[in-house]
A and B are shown apart, each in its own frame.
Chain A
């Protein structure tokens, strides 16, 4: 017997029942609209400087294609299963046991096996593209060495011979249209180097050097993150990625190699007096410390504290006074004993470094 509620027009509906049903229809529409709104935050994350679904590199584009293929496949199967569920719940037709057995065999065993085999084959086929390997990665390609530290990134640009041309921190610059090899290292714990818009992530393991090649296709400023829990400030360990036109990139490399900048004498004096140079380097000065991030051209960076704060005097001064409050577990000691005027002065000096 068919359920009358499905074909309501065939039978007069009692008024109270109608009211209840209209109410539930309106309720249903409100719910649908509400769930669309709930989806918004998820859809927002489909684009932006840190979204794997808004690719700017070939590998990331492959990952995005794989994601959308799987999503579409999953959605079709989900719709089919829900359709069957409704069919089973609403149509009370009697099926023979033989047909039911056949449905279980084909729909429950053969179909999922074949679909899974197809999806697995597609994903496995895509894998070499997502993590390509090039002969030149051993030499001949442009190399950047990135070391994950608690909780910042040491970035060294290597010359053709493999020697360090210069060092910087929390910022990676790559030329557009050229494949770059990242040598990934770690001195302390396992970190993971991930620039979602350019490609997949790769772990940085103490005692090992992992290599990842990436190629940016679109110029722009992106964000990279640490993708492996590495301590209390793991979430505050990000970096900026600039994908630059090749000629701009070469110009930047040349300028950065020669960088000593115009030094603000008073700020530098305070910087040296309070011992910052024990850990930090500022090219062209006596400050040649290697423990903490290199601060040469610090003012050019998009952020302070490895993607944690805006690179402005006020924030940098706050960081200098008590790094542990902003980044729990950071190894830099606090400088609350210094007069605020002096930490402000040092912060102004740093943000002025170009």
Chain B
């Protein structure tokens, strides 16, 4: 079966996928809570709703990161070859990129979880 996504991606952009998701999630969480607390709009929309919305956003972000990590893992050959991939060859470069992306995805996954932890505990907006 032909894979929908190419097995090898020769671009640096995939490396940044997970950190970009982390940054977006971080901005979304902080901006949403700040705007909600500053504007207090509308009254029927409680802080718990904000919490649930951001919880869903967090799950989506984690999903994208896990997907990016899976692609990276595949590019890394599912760990067939050990680092460091420091040969001046195309193969080595691809493996290195895959491994680096996998590590960055792990870091981003953790960061998204950490950013979401306070959401569970914040009581509400204080006037």
Give the most central of A124, A125, A127: most B CB within 10 Å.
A124
State which of A116, A131, A211 has its C-beta within 8 Å of the C-beta of B114: A116
Bound-state Cα–Cα, A133 to B110, Å: 31
Does residue B123 face the partner (Cβ distance < 8 Å to A)? yes
Interface digits, A81-125 against B, CB 8 Å rule (1 contact, 0 not)? 000000000000000000000000000010001001100110011
Bound-state Cα–Cα, A165 to B113, Å: 50
User: By the criterion CB–CB under 8 Å, are A117 and B121 in contact?
Assistant: no
Bound-state Cα–Cα, A26 to B120, Å: 54
Residue of A nearest to B106 (CB): A109
User: By the criterion CB–CB under 8 Å, are B117 and A121 in contact?
Assistant: yes
CB neighbors of A among B35-61 (8 A): none
- Shortest Cβ distance from residue B102 to the other chain A in the assembled complex, whole angstroms: 12
User: By the criterion CB–CB under 8 Å, are A138 and B127 in contact?
Assistant: yes
User: By the criterion CB–CB under 8 Å, are A117 and B117 in contact?
Assistant: yes
Does residue B122 face the partner (Cβ distance < 8 Å to A)? yes
Residue of B nearest to A98 (CB): B82
User: By the criterion CB–CB under 8 Å, are A128 and B121 in contact?
Assistant: yes
Bound-state Cα–Cα, A273 to B127, Å: 46
Interface residue total, chain B, C-beta cutoff 8 A: 13
User: By the criterion CB–CB under 8 Å, are A117 and B114 in contact?
Assistant: yes
Interface residue total, chain A, C-beta cutoff 8 A: 14
Bound-state Cα–Cα, A190 to B123, Å: 27
Q: Which residues of A contact B121 (CB under 8 A)?
A: 121, 124-125, 127-128
Bound-state Cα–Cα, A125 to B121, Å: 5
Q: Which residues of B contact A138 (CB under 8 A)?
A: 127
**Majority SS at the chain A contact face:** helix
User: By the criterion CB–CB under 8 Å, are A117 and B113 in contact?
Assistant: yes
Bound-state Cα–Cα, A121 to B113, Å: 11
Q: Which residues of A contact B124 (CB under 8 A)?
A: 133
Does residue B126 face the partner (Cβ distance < 8 Å to A)? yes
Does residue B88 face the partner (Cβ distance < 8 Å to A)? no
Does residue B118 face the partner (Cβ distance < 8 Å to A)? yes
Residue of A nearest to B114 (CB): A120
Interface digits, B96-127 against A, CB 8 Å rule (1 contact, 0 not)? 00000000001000100110011011111011
- Shortest Cβ distance from residue A190 to the other chain B in the assembled complex, whole angstroms: 19
Q: Which residues of A contact B106 (CB under 8 A)?
A: 109
Residue of B nearest to A127 (CB): B121
- Shortest Cβ distance from residue B84 to the other chain A in the assembled complex, whole angstroms: 13
Bound-state Cα–Cα, A121 to B118, Å: 7
Q: Which residues of B contact A211 (CB under 8 A)?
A: 126-127
Q: Which residues of B contact A121 (CB under 8 A)?
A: 117, 121
Q: Which residues of B contact A120 (CB under 8 A)?
A: 114, 117
Residue of A nearest to B124 (CB): A133
- Shortest Cβ distance from residue B99 to the other chain A in the assembled complex, whole angstroms: 13
- Shortest Cβ distance from residue B75 to the other chain A in the assembled complex, whole angstroms: 20
Q: A124-B120, A133-B126 are in contact. List 5 more A-B contacts (CB 8 A).
A: A109-B106, A117-B117, A120-B117, A121-B117, A211-B127
* Closest 9 pairs (CB-CB, A-B): A128-B123, A124-B121, A124-B118, A133-B126, A125-B121, A120-B117, A124-B117, A113-B110, A121-B117
Chain A interface residues toward B at CB < 8 A: 109, 113, 116-117, 120-121, 124-125, 127-128, 131, 133, 138, 211
